[in-house]
Amino acid sequence: MRIGILGLGRIGAFHAETLSGLDAVESLVVADPFTDAAKAAADRFGAEVADSPEAVLAAGVDGLVVAAATDAHPSLILAGVEAGVPVFCEKPVARTMTEGVEVLKAVEGSAVPIQIGYNRRFDAGFVAAREAVRSGELGKLHTVRSTTLDPAPPPAAYIAASGGIFRDCSVHDFDIIRWVTGREVTEVYAVGGNRGADYIREAGDADTTGAILTLDDGTIAVVSNSRHNARGYDVRMELHGFQDSVAVGLDDKLPLRSVEPGVTFPSGPPHDFFMDRFTAAYRAELTAFTEVVAGTRPSPCTVADALEAGWIAEACTLSLHEHRPVTIEEVRGA
């Protein structure tokens, strides 16, 4: 099949590399406002270069991958749908929930599939954890812990436009908690602090946060996030049930150092970047998209799915600012 890619920044170029290695993909058509980025992708992967999104869609593509700036996501998703081309779009659906809801309304009833990029759904550990929950082998859950710690904060310009740590970073934890447990979040309480980069505080954001999520069956989920984890990129989940407990992310590249006498775990070099931690998951995610394009599977992460994680981020942001518990229905109805 022939796949179009809009946006050849860090993640777009990574997707181009991944797609070029998939057996189902015969050719790529790429476009980026920075022509040098598009040309570099063309030279590296044998892609065709188009000068606009419209030109990509007119080039006979079977599927469209949107890795452009967040502000462009709504218009590019809708352009793909209007052209009848299945769309894969990196999260978020839109910069604001209002815009995201507008996208959802615009595509409701359309037969054109849309897949939003939440790559943890394709990580082998998270897949196994979901199976453990769904099979009942853990028994009834009582506690979930989800962690995302970045090795260093992104640049000031990125922070200023990110929408805040809950919308930018924690939203991955929120999505995977919903996906693994199969439950919805009903209420949150969030706290945050600033003990690192001054520009994060100046942007009105926190660099380290904690959130307590109450799920609709009474399970408690604890989410920890930070922009500062000197040892590396740390993504983990624990699930504790009345019959058993399991963990995701406890491998020899775990960026954590044990001080127990005689303990050598973890023994490998720490994960230091999200592309390192989730290389296989990204490949599985885009392989799934080729199956969506081929019509052999439904979207594994719809616009509606992505917006549910977004509502949790909105509730946590409000809770942080107002120092109180916030229900999901409160922000959904705002």
The residue type found at 143 is: T
pLDDT at 334 over 70: no
Across 186-208, average pLDDT? 95
Alpha-carbon distance of 315 to 232, in angstroms, equals 28
For residues 98 and 313, is the Cβ–Cβ distance under 8 A?
Answer: no
For the stretch 63-120, pLDDT in tens is: 999 999 899 999 999 999 999 999 999 999 999 999 999 999 999 999 999 999 999 9
pLDDT-based confidence at 42, cuts 50/70/90?
Answer: confident
For the stretch 271-294, pLDDT in tens is: 998 888 999 999 999 999 999 999
> What pLDDT score was predicted for residue 38?
85
What's the mean per-residue pLDDT of the chain? 95
DSSP 271: P
Give the strand pairing for 208-215 and 220-226: antiparallel
Beta partners for residue 85, in sequence order: none
For residues 261 and 275, is the Cβ–Cβ distance under 8 A?
Answer: no
For residues 9 and 67, is the Cβ–Cβ distance under 8 A?
Answer: yes
pLDDT-based confidence at 39, cuts 50/70/90?
Answer: confident
Across 307-313, average pLDDT? 97
Tokens 């005689």 sit at which residue?
Answer: 262
